[in-house]
């Protein structure tokens, strides 16, 4: 039994010796020195401070980007309004390169008016056809915006 004790004791002594050698080696000593230097120079605090500043900057960038997008949409709305007002003022006598654009606007407005007239005719047809149907069945045809508004109101009331 003593032989095993000697073997285990020798192995442990050998491992302890190797651990001491490694702990006293130049690599470990240099690494420990670098860790101490970093801690003494407040490098960790500097890195943390830089990370904090960067996070604040990214938050500010996101906020500014949202503000820019909102203001860009508002600017586009203002440009559209300016265009509408100018068109109304100069639609009878367009000048220069506006002539083609005014022509396109006039054609689109006429197309929209024709389609609205077709819708009105179809609604009138439905109304005439419905006059001979069962009075218990009520079919209502309305404008899209009215239907959407009513649906939104019903949804809000049900909450």
Tell me the per-residue pLDDT of 60-92, one tens digit each, with 9 for 90 and over.
Answer: 999 999 999 999 999 999 999 999 999 999 888
The answer as to whether 29 is a domain residue is no
The answer as to whether 51 is a domain residue is no
Contacts of 105 (CB under 8 A, 6+ apart): 87, 91
| Region 23-27 average pLDDT | 77
- pLDDT at residue 119, rounded to an integer: 92
Question: Alpha carbon of 37 to those of 30, 32, 33, 47: distances in Å?
Answer: 10, 9, 6, 14
Number of domains present in the structure of the chain: 1
- pLDDT at residue 26, rounded to an integer: 78
The answer as to whether 132 is a domain residue is yes
The answer as to whether 19 is a domain residue is no
The answer as to whether 40 is a domain residue is no
The answer as to whether 59 is a domain residue is no
The answer as to whether 18 is a domain residue is no
3-class secondary-structure state, position 64: helix
Higher-scoring residue by pLDDT: 26, 131: 26
Cite the DSSP H helix spans in 91-157.
98-130, 144-157
Higher-scoring residue by pLDDT: 11, 83: 83
Question: Alpha carbon of 6 to those of 17, 56, 125: distances in Å?
Answer: 16, 63, 111
**Backbone dihedral angles phi then psi of residue 140, each to the nearest 5 degrees:** -115, 130
The answer as to whether 30 is a domain residue is no
Helix H or strand E encompassing 37? helix 26-40
Q: Give the structural domain span for 147.
A: 99-159
- pLDDT at residue 133, rounded to an integer: 56
- pLDDT at residue 2, rounded to an integer: 55
Contact criterion met (CB below 8 Å) for 102 and 91: yes
Q: Is 67 exposed, middle or buried (0-12, 13-18, 19+ CB in 10 A)?
A: exposed
| Region 13-25 average pLDDT | 79
How many Å is the Cα radius of gyration of the chain? Answer: 41
């Amino acid at each position: 039994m003593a032989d095993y004790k000697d073997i285990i004791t020798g192995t442990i002594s050998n491992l302890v010796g190797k651990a001491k050698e490694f702990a006293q080696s130049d690599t470990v000593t240099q690494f420990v020195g670098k860790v101490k230097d970093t801690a003494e120079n407040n490098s960790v605090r500097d890195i943390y401070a830089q990370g904090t500043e960067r996070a604040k900057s990214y938050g500010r960038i996101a906020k500014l980007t949202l503000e820019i997008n909102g203001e860009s949409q508002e600017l586009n709305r203002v440009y559209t309004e300016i265009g509408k007002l100018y068109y109304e003022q100069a639609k009878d006598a367009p000048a220069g390169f506006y002539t083609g654009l005014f022509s396109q606007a006039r054609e689109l407005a006429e197309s929209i008016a024709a389609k609205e007239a077709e819708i009105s005719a179809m609604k009138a047809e439905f109304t005439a056809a419905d006059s001979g149907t069962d009075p218990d069945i009520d079919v209502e045809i309305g404008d899209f915006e009215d239907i959407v508004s009513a649906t939104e109101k019903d949804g809000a009331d049900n909450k």
